[in-house]
């Protein structure tokens, strides 16, 4: 495909998260042999600025050409880049490039909140327009936006596809704009390796882009309260003159320049602070820091929780709810910043800076979660979306007025103060839920609670992204067992009876609504044994990649495998990303949970009992050598109700290899069982 990116900001070199994400996205598409062109600009036009930009490229060894019309062209990683440096009309130049390049797809984004380039993109009748939403602040509707606009909302409705950088952003657009937005990964990462850089002895507690919306007030308050701690601030697009003056008044704050390669900054960072007060869309620097083992303390706001990947710390804040009708010297909307409770931030940071063991535990947990996420991150879902958008006829879209406050939303009539009170109550409830089911707080209104139990060594993140593929009334509730993710410091269970007893106690309060159990491999056995202990069975037991438990009658446990034998078996089953298996450091961190889980199943002996009074659905892979269709069909003996088996292409982990096909079948079964 011929793909054109409309970038109403710098493309390269640039240090903003959105700019970097756009660059990595285009480079990934170019690597897959698409023809990619970028039209970008520098922040201010002029001859002097033009010369400075040329100097920046030269210092990075980037060959370039400069024409008399104030446009600098160069190529990076297979992407041709045209940067406007001294030309009166960016919009007119962009329109010219549309005519000459003849793209099949034009990418526009919230990095152009004024929609300067979106309007000519929509006029290009032969090209499809895909809008990348990277910040709710820059959208023209809803409670997070700075400048609401019905006109701009209608303009956005004309895009052929809208993609949110996170589930939070996609949901926001659907809810407040009435636009069918989706989420696929558009915030890619630099290629590996990701060296471990987090160190208890590193110099700084660091904040990037200190500004009002990013929470500079919290950063300054911590610096004042902890004068013995060395802090570092890296000014970027949001940092205005007032912010710089405030930073200069604190002798324990060092102002550092932006860097092209984030690892240079992280190598000096002990803890990264992300105290955002606006509805952060996702925050790529959170994942980047965690990849390198740098602990992150971040606001529990917007999409940051998705970036944290289930690892603590998420700290509550009072988010910005109102913006003034003006911008500052950085062209950022001026926010009315509410007062903040610095106590939770101080407690979190003080513990990380004083408890070496806790620091190392969080560093390891962060790195494991982020490396697993990175190993599964790919441009391919976005590429498929582009292909579907480019080659399919767009369905006509009825004209409609922008929906600023949907009538069906029960929160729409609440004042900001009542919304804040509700949010605080929900957080308190979340704290009471304990660590076993981290998503339970969002399941109150669900028609069916689907409790999911992972395979050996797996955590709650195994089921990330399932909810968007299942019926709307289903709440996906993964179990987070001890010894993994945020529970890395807890000893894992190696006896089934003890695990089931703990799970029964933890899950009891949440079985007051219709529920079902899903488990893959070891998780299927856990789900089955847990269901047997309950006074009322689940609506359905869904088992995957596991032989029926009665096949382990009179089982004699074999000797435990050596570490190398265990790793080779994982490699053969293709159940853990190759990058993790090949990383000896991370495998040493993951092995305790893996060894405990294999012991859990190795020592498991089935005891006779009545069959379950619930439906059972079994799933398997046609290429799974150990779990055949016959092994799955024997599950029929464990139910007095309906039973079925469905097979999918793939081996033991077919549910990852053929994720879309499997989740479609699971969704269909859930609709039948639960009458959704």
In angstroms, the CA 434 to CA 92 distance is 57
User: Which regions of 523-626 does DSSP assign to beta strands (E)?
Assistant: 540-544, 615-621
Q: Which residues of 138-155 are buried (b: 16+ CB within 10 A; e: fewer)?
A: bbbbbbbbbeebeebbeb
Pairing status of strand 161-164 against strand 64-66: unpaired
In angstroms, the CA 212 to CA 215 distance is 5
Sequence-ordered alpha helix ranges (H) in 433-562: 496-507, 522-533
Torsion angle (degrees, nearest 10) of CA 389, 378, 312, 498: 110
Whether 273 and 207 have beta carbons less than 8 Å apart is answered as yes
Q: Which of 263, 260, 342, 325 is nearest to 56 (CA)?
A: 260
**Residue 53: HSE in the Cβ half-sphere, 13 Å Cα cutoff:** 29
Q: Which of 21, 109, 305, 521 is catalytic?
A: 521
Question: Which residues are registered as beta bridge partners of 376?
Answer: none
Instruction: Give helix 284-291 / helix 17-31 axis angle, nearest 10°.
Output: 70
Contacts of 225 (CB under 8 A, 6+ apart): 342, 346
Other beta carbons within 10 Å of 559: 6
650, with CB counted inside 10 A (0-12, 13-18, 19+), is buried
In angstroms, the CA 305 to CA 315 distance is 10
Question: Which residues are registered as beta bridge partners of 477?
Answer: 451
Pairing status of strand 71-76 against strand 64-66: antiparallel
- ω into residue 13 within 30 of 0, thus cis? yes
User: Which regions of 311-418 does DSSP assign to beta strands (E)?
Assistant: 314-315, 323-327, 333-335
Which contiguous run of DSSP H or E holds residue 70?
none
Sequence-ordered alpha helix ranges (H) in 376-495: 380-391, 416-432
Q: How many residues does the chain have?
A: 676
In angstroms, the CA 542 to CA 62 distance is 55
* 521 flagged as catalytic: yes
Q: Which of 552, 516, 547 is nearest to 620 (CA)?
A: 547
Whether 386 and 3 have beta carbons less than 8 Å apart is answered as yes
> Given the structure tokens 């955002």, which residue do they identify?
276
- Catalytic positions are 521
């Amino acid at each position: 495909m011929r793909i054109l990116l409309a970038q109403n900001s710098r493309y390269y070199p640039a240090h903003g998260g959105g700019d970097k994400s756009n660059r990595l996205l285009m480079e990934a598409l170019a690597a897959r042999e698409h023809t990619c062109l970028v039209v970008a600009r520098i922040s201010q036009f002029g001859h002097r600025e033009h010369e400075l930009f040329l100097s920046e490229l030269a210092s990075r060894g980037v060959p370039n050409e400069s024409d008399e019309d104030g446009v600098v062209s160069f190529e990076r990683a297979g992407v041709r880049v045209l940067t406007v440096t001294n030309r009166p009309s960016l919009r007119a130049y962009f329109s010219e490039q549309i005519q000459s390049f003849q793209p099949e797809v034009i990418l526009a984004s919230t990095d152009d909140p004024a929609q300067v380039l979106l309007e000519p993109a929509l006029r290009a009748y032969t090209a499809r327009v895909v809008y990348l939403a990277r910040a709710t602040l820059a959208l023209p509707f809803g409670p997070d936006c700075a400048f609401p606009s019905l006109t701009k909302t209608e303009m956005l409705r004309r895009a052929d596809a809208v993609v949110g950088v996170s589930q939070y952003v996609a949901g926001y657009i659907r809810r407040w704009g009435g636009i069918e937005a989706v989420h696929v990964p558009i915030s890619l990462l630099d290629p590996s390796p990701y060296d471990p850089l987090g160190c208890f002895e590193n110099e700084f507690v660091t904040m990037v882009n200190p500004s009002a919306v990013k929470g500079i007030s919290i950063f300054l308050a911590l610096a004042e309260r902890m004068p013995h701690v060395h802090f570092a601030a890296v000014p970027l697009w949001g940092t205005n003159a007032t912010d710089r003056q405030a930073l200069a008044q604190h002798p324990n704050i060092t102002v550092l320049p932006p860097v092209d390669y984030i690892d240079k900054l992280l190598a000096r960072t002990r803890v990264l602070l992300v105290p955002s007060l606006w509805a952060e869309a996702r925050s790529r620097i959170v994942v980047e820091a965690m990849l390198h083992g740098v602990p992150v303390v971040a606001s529990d706001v917007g999409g940051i929780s998705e970036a944290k990947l289930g690892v603590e710390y998420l700290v509550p804040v009072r988010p910005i709810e109102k913006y003034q009708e003006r911008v500052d010297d950085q062209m950022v909307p001026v926010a009315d910043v509410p007062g903040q409770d610095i106590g939770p931030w101080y407690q979190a940071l003080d513990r990380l800076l004083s408890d070496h063991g806790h620091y190392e535990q969080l560093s390891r947990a962060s790195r494991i979660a982020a490396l697993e996420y990175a190993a599964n991150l790919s441009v391919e879902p976005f590429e498929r979306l582009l292909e579907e958008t480019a080659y399919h006829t767009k369905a006509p879209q009825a004209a409609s007025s922008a929906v600023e406050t949907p009538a069906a939303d029960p929160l729409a009539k609440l004042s900001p103060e009542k919304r804040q009170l509700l949010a605080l109550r929900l957080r308190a409830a979340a704290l009471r839920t304990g660590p076993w089911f981290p998503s339970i707080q969002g399941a109150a209104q669900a028609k069916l609670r689907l409790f999911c139990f992972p395979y050996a060594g797996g955590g709650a993140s195994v089921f990330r992204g399932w909810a968007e593929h299942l019926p709307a009334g289903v709440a996906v509730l993964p179990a987070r067992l001890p010894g993994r993710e945020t529970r890395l410091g807890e000893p894992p269970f190696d006896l089934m009876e003890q695990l089931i007893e703990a799970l029964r106690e933890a899950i009891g309060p949440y079985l007051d609504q219709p529920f079902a159990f899903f488990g893959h491999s070891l998780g299927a056995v856990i789900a089955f044994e847990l269901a047997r202990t309950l006074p009322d069975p689940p609506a359905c037991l869904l088992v995957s990649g596991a032989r029926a438990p009665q096949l382990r009658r009179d089982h004699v446990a074999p000797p435990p495998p050596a570490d190398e034998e265990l790793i080779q078996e994982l490699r053969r089953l293709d159940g853990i990303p190759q990058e993790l298996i090949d990383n000896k450091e991370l495998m040493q961190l993951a092995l305790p949970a893996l060894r405990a889980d294999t012991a859990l199943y190795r020592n498991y002996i089935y005891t006779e009992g009545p069959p379950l009074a619930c439906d059972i659905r079994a799933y398997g892979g046609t290429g799974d050598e150990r779990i055949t269709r016959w092994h799955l069909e024997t599950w029929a003996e464990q139910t007095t109700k309906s039973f079925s088996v469905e097979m999918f292409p793939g081996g033991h982990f077919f549910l990852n290899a053929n994720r879309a096909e499997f989740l479609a079948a699971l969704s269909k079964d859930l609709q039948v069982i639960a009458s959704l």
